[in-house]
Amino acid sequence: MDKIFIEGQQTLSGSVQISGAKNAVLPIMTAALMAEGRSVVTRVPDLRDTRTMIRLMEIVGATCSFENGKLSIDGSTVNNPEAPYDLVKTMRASFYVLGPLLARFGVVKVSLPGGCAWGPRPVDFHLKGLEKLGAKITLESGYIIAEAKRLQGTKINFEFPSVGATGNIAMAAATAEGTTIIENAAREPEIVQLCEYLNTMGACIRGIGTTRLTIDGVETLHSADIDVIPDRIEAGTFLAAGALLGEITLNGVIPEHLDSVILNFKEVGCNVSTTSNSVTIAQADKIQPVDMTTAVYPGFPTDLQAQWVALMTLAKGSSMITDTVYHDRFSHVPELNRFGANIKVENNTAFVRGVDALVGAPVMSTDIRASASLIVAGLAAKGRTEISRVYHIDRGYEQIEEKFRSLGANIWRKNPIV
Ligand code: EPU
């Protein structure tokens, strides 16, 4: 299994291109299954998760080709509305086929995802929403089977503005009979783009970007092309490294998507400037401790919580980082402490006491964003860091070593068996 090695404390400088957003492209791919035609998606990041989703597309019968960031999905051959356990267990986002395939075929069978490294992560909002749209849901041998001749428009009020449930229900409701209103909908840029894409496919969704989506069902959707938005979480991860190690520019971003993130990097003491499509960050002389509470968009994203904890380990003082979205998402903490960080977790809060320096160590990735925090810490630490189980990082970051190397980092990958 590959390992990533870092010889830390190299100054970073220069610019890097941010890839397309993983969490935008995954639901877009499943939306393309709703049309009998060929959709072309560009700026698709070459990630383990996009590759897994392509495999799932092919299992359900779609014809796909993927080259140089351009993904073509032909939905006319889709004939097998079933997502097997082997894929769903490796990537929860496979659950996004539920709404689209139910809408198109009147029946779908999707493995229940189960828990994940940082907690239960239920799918009850997705299922309750589909039931309200008139689907009959049963559980059989670990699989959810949803059936409905044609879904019926309804009113759904989410207990929490779930990203995945909003996406799934918006896709399902796009071709339901009548109007669906989703209250307390997610407003993340990735969901905004999904809804805009559905509209390009012929759907009629209003209120995009607000907490209330109104979806007038249409008979069918047609294929359409789309360019994926840049990955604000990849960008935030590079900002955390820049805050500690130099001056870097991130190109191809949408700075508004990073508003709350940029504001916090400024509070830390970094100089951050933006153009219409780039962000430049200059390292802070002293990292000021800044407390953080994650929240749904436009708040500070839970997907940058681990990287923020890594940054705060080197702050001149103490900080508190609370995750209100995922209460148990702290598997990076014991690993960061292996660098000499001083972090304690109580309930859903990490208490970080800044230290003068981190020292490189052998550490283990536990999930996508935890791995990203270990890279940030490893880049800032004195000496050598060895990160194992890097397949987690490959799920969500395209060419991460190459990108950091181009900025001056000493980071490389090795397969110990070769
Ligand atoms: N929740 C429920 N029931 C549900 C759905 C969600 O209780 O049916 C709860 C979750 O347990 C959690 C909260 O609602 O406490 C929010 O979960 P959400 O549904 O919004 O998350 P998700 O759709 O499963 C997406 C991203 C995650 C990101 C979260 C939050 C994708 C493919 N995944 O997950 O990204 O952390 O939204 O922003 O879009 C990552 O990229 O590393 C990642 C984990």
The whole-number pLDDT of residue 415 equals 79
b (16+ CB within 10 A) / e for 81-93: bbbbbebbeebbb
Residue positions annotated with a catalytic role: 116
Q: For residue 116, is pLDDT > 90?
A: no
Question: How many Å apart are CA 255 and CA 253, to the nearest integer?
Answer: 6
Q: Which residue from 156, 48, 129 is spatially nearest to 93, judged by alpha carbons? A: 48
* Residue 115 predicted with pLDDT over 80: no
Give 152-202 pLDDT, tens digit per residue. Answer: 999 999 999 999 999 999 999 999 999 999 999 999 999 999 999 999 999
Per-residue pLDDT band at 294 (split at 50, 70, 90) = very high
Higher pLDDT, 418 or 389: 389
DSSP assigned state of 75 = G
Q: From the CA of 301, give the closest atom in ligand 1.
A: 38
Q: Is 128 in the pocket of ligand 1 (CB under 6 A)?
A: no
Of the chain, the percentage scoring pLDDT greater than 90 comes to 96
Q: Does the beta carbon of 256 lie inside 6 Å of ligand 1?
A: no
| 148 alpha carbon – ligand 1 mean position (Å) | 26
Q: Would the pLDDT of 237 be above 70?
A: yes
Evaluate if residue 418 carries a pLDDT over 60: no
Sign, Cα dihedral of 235, 241, 242, 243? positive
Is domain 22-227 in CATH 3.65.10.10, yes or no?
A: yes
Average pLDDT, the chain: 96
Give the pLDDT mean for 77-85.
96
User: Which distant-in-sequence residues (6+ apart) come within 8 Å of 64 by Cβ?
Assistant: 54, 57, 58, 71, 72, 73, 74
Question: In angstroms, what is the span from residue 355 Cα to ligand 1's centroid?
Answer: 32
Report the nearest atom of ligand 1 relative to the CA of 327: 15
Q: Cα(79)–Cα(242) distance, rounded to whole angstroms?
A: 47
Max CA distance (Å), the chain: 63
Each residue's pLDDT tens digit, 297-310: 999 999 999 999 99
Q: Looking at the chain, which residues constitute the CATH 3.65.10.10 domain(s)?
A: 3-19+230-414, 22-227
Average pLDDT of the residues in 113-122: 74
Q: Does any ligand 1 atom lie closer than 6 A to the CB of residue 231?
A: no
Level-2 CATH architecture, domain 3-19+230-414? Alpha-beta prism (3.65)
Pocket perturbation via mutation, ligand 1, pick of 110, 163, 211, 330 by most ligand atoms within 8 A of CB: 163
- Ligand 1: residue whose CA is nearest its atom 4: 123
pLDDT at position 416, please? 62
Please compute the mean of the pLDDT values over residues 219-239 and round it to a whole number.
98
Residue nearest to atom 28 of ligand 1 (CA): 303
d(CA 269, CA 249): 17
Statement: residue 226 has pLDDT above 80:
yes
For 36-59, write each residue's pLDDT tens digit.
Answer: 999 999 999 999 999 999 999 999
